[in-house]
Structure 1
Amino acid sequence: MLDPKDLRRSSPSLDRRRLLKGLGVTAFGGSFAGVARAETEHHSVADAPVANAASPLDSVPYLGIHQAGIVNARPANGMVASFDVLAKDAGELETLFRLLTARIAFLTVGGPVPVLDPKLPPADSGLLGPTVRPDNLTITISLGASLFDDRPWLAPLKPKHLQRMTRFPNDALDADICHGDLTIQICANTQDTTIHALRDIIKASSSQMILKWKQEGNVPVITPGSDGRAESARNFLGFRDGSANPNSSDGAEMDRVVWVGPEDGEPAWAVGGSYQAVRIIRNFVERWDRTPFGEQERIIGRTKISGAPLDRRDGSEFDVPDYAGDPEGKATPHDAHIRLANARDAAASTNTILRRPFNYSNGVTRSGQLDQGLLFICYQADLERGFLTVQQKLNGEPLEEYIKPVGGGYFYTLPGIRDAADYVGSPLIAAVRGA
């Protein structure tokens, strides 16, 4: 078993060989010697995946005091799937959590697929072939308000800020793609790996939870600039998304922004977790593409080509706008998206969130328009102080003419799986039984 001292905040960069040595075998009982390369270099969540850098052997260890898939860099593909949970008591919920942990352990580590009697259903969909490779896969489990609200034995342990997502003025929420008892965020280098993981989990858990909705997305793969510095990915409006994200490599900053601590007044079991906000935001791309270039920049508050602030057009996306030097909003309008979202003052620093979005494209609407937009995902230690406050500042912004949130929800991301004997959600189950 791995020494818990090794399972620290930097676990996504834990040496792969040590992890495999600690685990010894895969969830199916066979060692997987094919995996030999670790994700040893940590990047920011906002960075776009680098061209020709991904490998099927890339891996993110699933063990740690926090779940993987939050502060490590986004791979090219991601999805959120929401489920209704059937568990009627703590024992059934524990069974589900242990099953999810077993699937996470195998899928993120990889290994050969068992060969069963041909008269039986196959052990695996076969989508990835006879051997599953990790492919930078992360699987992140979060719980919705309904899981607690619908179960009296669980209700007293509900995180204090967890709630159903209610409608903001510009929202047009579709009930079919909102809320859920449990979400699974799945991210990987390739779409086949995310789909394979979802199908594996659905098959294994079919008697314990039912798929409610899902949304897939991707992050554009780019070539680094001439200075070698990683750039933020562009969204479907053509602007860089994530330029002002906090540094996800900074453990102290993540403690402040993302992770729930003992001092936050949450139930003791929730320490080490985080609030997850998911928003499926449709972009009216045809209307946007007919909007003058200069107006687009004023609406966002950045230059479209480089991502530089409007008061530093010759700079880069990494330059900080000087709002104090632009009190009248001549360079960056007061109602520009970035200025409303983050005023760059002491008060705004308490509302910081970690954004982890993906672009989505779902086809064509009945009116003949492209159904494209942003699968917005963010994490924060306090949902009220984080996403909810930021969104309230954005109500009525000019950008609303071009976007329409249609789905999503708020969820609580469980603390991490600390060692190979642990399972996701174990502190919650212990708290239920203790109560």
Structure 2
Amino acid sequence: MTTQPLDERPREDDASSPGSHGGRVTNRRSFLRGALSAGVAGVATGAAAGAGIAAGLDGGTPAAAAAPAPVVPFHGQHQAGVATEAQRNSTMVSFDVLAANKGELTDLLRTLTDRARFLTAGGTPPDPGISAPPTDSGILGPQVPADRLTVTVGVGASLFDDRYGLASRKPAGLTAMRTFPNDFLDAAQCHGDLSLHLCADNPDTVLHALRDIARHTRGAMQIRWQIDGFQSPPRPSGTPRNLMGFKDGTSNLHGYDTQQMNDLVWLPVGDKSGWAAGGTYQVVRTIRMLVEFWDRVSITEQENMFGRRRDSGAPLDGDKEFDTPNFAADPVGTAIPLTSHIRRANPRTSDTAGSRILRRPYNYNRGIDSVGNVDCGLVFICYQKDLATQFETVQKRLADEPLVDYIQPFGGGYFLVLPGVRDANDYLGRTMLA
């Protein structure tokens, strides 16, 4: 690992320009190689820490010792952070890739893999010696806890331009996110070459991981946009609530249901984009909620817009949160309005069953805007096999629903979550680059 301070290393001439692929850092590739070498040492330390956790569990942990932080396995056919039970905190980050050629892109993805492998396992960062900058920010202390951290990496359609010779590898279903009716998209908050979703049980773990990855990939990719999120605890029970006060995700797919995941989420072997088998399409939509106006709406009108009771989450024709609404018995919308969100999003007919998606949303709060209004809302994230027949089909059904008067989608993008890293010799994007 180079000992040159970060603030003295060569910088991208116009890295502050979103979407720019202009000037290059002359020694970027040597920097990435140095980062990769340092990361390998860190992985060995992390693996040892993981072995220690396993030994403690097998041999019994002393009563006075704190239980070790849980570890979400990094290796597997699929990346973690999709089917994983949602952690409490996250950040969604989009990057412009600045690597000069395919070789540097390969170095970048190897470095990303190396850092994710260490960070998700936890362990002790390597000691750089007394004359070098520390190899870790230290915000989590001398030992990096795993804290159920997941690092989920996706690629956008723009990565498959003429920079890296990947045009022929671009999956047919991967496009730039389109603008839908009622959108208020800000170009600076949309799209990107690469997506990074970091989730953990504590917010400092998420920030630590982002700083670590940004440090080790400096010069090879530049943050385009970022938004932090959190999940509220169930109140009083059941599904967590969004910032409009309603339970969010009652009828969601279940990540632990292998059949549902294979049918609706994971890309299969033999798909027309065979290298992507084990991956999935990711949709990110950042949606501001106009809460000052929403809070002045009567509870009856709010419930009619959602189609559910605010207190219990039950459908308007039911008694409990997980009761299935009976749309067939209510064809004119007497109990649940035909325009309600749950009725449009999931009509529960045989011909709409294939458009279901796996939702993994987070709330966000960014303080106040320039005129003093609360800037909060939803980081909507979902996963599916096919963008057109799943997410976009649902989104078209939601056009002009009553809720659009109280929400403003302003950013996000479409990404392909790369297949998982199979073992210690594998790396993210290997099959894409082959």
TM range (shorter): 0.7 to 0.9
Show the 5 A alignment for 1:156-171: 156-171=168-183
The separation in 2 between residues aligned to 1:88 and 1:207, in whole angstroms, is: 10
Structure 1 pair 170/38, CA: closer, same or farther in 2 (3 Å)? farther
Q: Scaled by the length of structure 1, what TM-score is found? A: 0.85
Residue of 43, 49, 53 corresponding to 1:35: 53
Deviation at 1:252, TM superposition (A): 1.1
> What is the match of residue 287 of structure 2?
281
The separation in 1 between residues aligned to 2:189 and 2:53, in whole angstroms, is: 37
RMSD of aligned alpha carbons:
2.0
* In the alignment, structure 1 residue 176 sits paired with structure 2 residue 188: yes
In terms of mean alpha carbon deviation, does 68-77 or 29-38 score higher?
Answer: 29-38
Show the 5 A alignment for 1:280-319: 280-312=286-318, 314=319, 316-319=320-323
Q: Which runs of 5+ in 2 are unaligned?
A: 1-39, 58-65
* In the alignment, structure 1 residue 388 sits paired with structure 2 residue 392: yes
- AA in 2 matched with 1:273: G
* In the alignment, structure 1 residue 378 sits paired with structure 2 residue 382: yes
Residue of 329, 341, 347 corresponding to 1:343: 347
Q: Could you give the per-residue CA deviations for residues 172-222 of structure 1, whole angstroms, max 9, x where no partner exists? A: 111111111001000000000000000000000002111111110000123
Structure 1 pair 38/286, CA: closer, same or farther in 2 (3 Å)? farther
Q: Could you give the per-residue CA deviations for residues 110-137 of structure 1, whole angstroms, max 9, x where no partner exists? A: 1112222333221001110100010000
Q: Could you give the per-residue CA deviations for residues 270-305 of structure 1, whole angstroms, max 9, x where no partner exists? A: 111100000000000111110000000000011101
Show the 5 A alignment for 1:115-130: 115-130=127-142
Contact 2:41/2:126 (8 A) holds in 1: no
Deviation at 1:151, TM superposition (A): 2.9
The separation in 2 between residues aligned to 1:36 and 1:26, in whole angstroms, is: 18
Deviation at 1:167, TM superposition (A): 1.3
* In the alignment, structure 1 residue 417 sits paired with structure 2 residue 421: yes
The separation in 2 between residues aligned to 1:82 and 1:28, in whole angstroms, is: 29
| Structure number with larger C-alpha Rg | 2
Deviation at 1:38, TM superposition (A): 11
Q: Residue 396 of structure 1 aligns to a residue in which SS? A: coil
> What is the match of residue 3 of structure 1?
none
> What is the match of residue 7 of structure 1?
none
Deviation at 1:89, TM superposition (A): 2.8
Contact 1:235/1:359 (8 A) holds in 2: yes
Residue of 207, 211, 219 corresponding to 1:207: 219
Contact 2:53/2:68 (8 A) holds in 1: no
Identical residues among aligned pairs (%): 49
Show the 5 A alignment for 1:14-163: 27-29=43-45, 31-32=48-49, 35-36=53-54, 57-151=69-163, 153-163=165-175
The separation in 2 between residues aligned to 1:87 and 1:137, in whole angstroms, is: 27
Deviation at 1:28, TM superposition (A): 4.5
Q: Residue 105 of structure 2 aligns to a residue in which SS? A: helix
Contact 2:93/2:195 (8 A) holds in 1: yes
> What is the match of residue 400 of structure 1?
404
Structure 1 pair 38/320, CA: closer, same or farther in 2 (3 Å)? farther
Contact 2:154/2:194 (8 A) holds in 1: yes
Residue of 414, 426, 430 corresponding to 1:426: 430
Q: Residue 318 of structure 1 aligns to a residue in which SS? A: coil
The separation in 2 between residues aligned to 1:377 and 1:149, in whole angstroms, is: 25
Q: Residue 222 of structure 2 aligns to a residue in which SS? A: strand
Q: Scaled by the length of structure 2, what TM-score is found? A: 0.85
Residue of 262, 266, 275 corresponding to 1:255: 262
In terms of mean alpha carbon deviation, does 59-68 or 89-98 score higher?
Answer: 89-98
- AA in 1 matched with 2:383: Y
Q: Residue 246 of structure 2 aligns to a residue in which SS? A: coil
Residue of 228, 233, 236 corresponding to 2:243: 236
Deviation at 1:317, TM superposition (A): 1.7
Aligned residues: 385
The separation in 2 between residues aligned to 1:101 and 1:125, in whole angstroms, is: 19
- AA in 1 matched with 2:424: A
The separation in 1 between residues aligned to 2:301 and 2:67, in whole angstroms, is: 40
Contact 2:45/2:123 (8 A) holds in 1: no
Contact 1:278/1:409 (8 A) holds in 2: yes
- AA in 1 matched with 2:43: A
* In the alignment, structure 1 residue 193 sits paired with structure 2 residue 211: no
Contact 2:253/2:357 (8 A) holds in 1: yes
In terms of mean alpha carbon deviation, does 24-33 or 362-371 score higher?
Answer: 24-33
Q: Could you give the per-residue CA deviations for residues 54-97 of structure 1, whole angstroms, max 9, x where no partner exists? A: 97611100100000000111010011111111223322111111
> What is the match of residue 7 of structure 2?
none
Deviation at 1:264, TM superposition (A): 3.9
